[in-house]
Amino acid sequence: MNLFLTGTDTDVGKTYVAELLVRALRRTGLDTAPMKPLCCGNRDDALALYAACDGAVPLEVINPVWYKTPASPYAAAKVENRPVNMALLRQNFQQVRHRSVIVEGVGGWMVPITKDYYVADLAAEFELPVAVVVRNRLGAINHALLTVRDIKHRGIPFAGIILNSTESEQDPAALTNCALLEVLLGEPVLFEIKPGQTELEIGIA
């Protein structure tokens, strides 16, 4: 399995989902490599992915570009007066692309990496199927459909929705989002992750 994980927003649980996927795939015997090409703010996401693969991939390969400023890469690069090293980012991806790979984007689908280059462009360049991580809450349907529509409009393979539930007490929207998304998209949700879930089961043919 190879995926590019994007989100409908920041803080929807992309890293948590990526960790679950990496661990599950590695349990099946795949040499799965995680990658978080860009981090902005702390580096906790990259460190979590490093732990998920049990250190099988060096941290600097997992996360080649790190800004300490908690903003979009484009804004962080300006604040720190350090342009995004796109060559290094691409070079590191080439190191892992021959493996099973889970790439986690930064923020949402249209977060700017440079003035004219967005997370969407990075996903298109990497040529991986895109899965959209959606936080299961009120407003999820709108954000999910807008993101999926743009993915398909760009001709990028859409792998599906991963619905991430973070609240133990769910409102009516959270309780119905999964079924509604499946009806509206005409395909099943890839995974519906429950609060506190620590493992995914993935069948590899």
Give catalytic residue positions: 36
Q: Are 47 and 59 in contact (CB under 8 A)?
A: yes
Between CA 96 and CA 102 the distance in angstroms is 10
14: left (phi over 0), alpha (psi -120 to 50) or beta: alpha
Between CA 64 and CA 62 the distance in angstroms is 6
Identify the CA nearest to 193 among candidates 125, 108, 135: 135
Q: Which helix (H) or strand (E) holds 137?
A: none
Q: How far is CA 145 from the centre of its chain?
A: 17
Tokens of 68: 């300490």
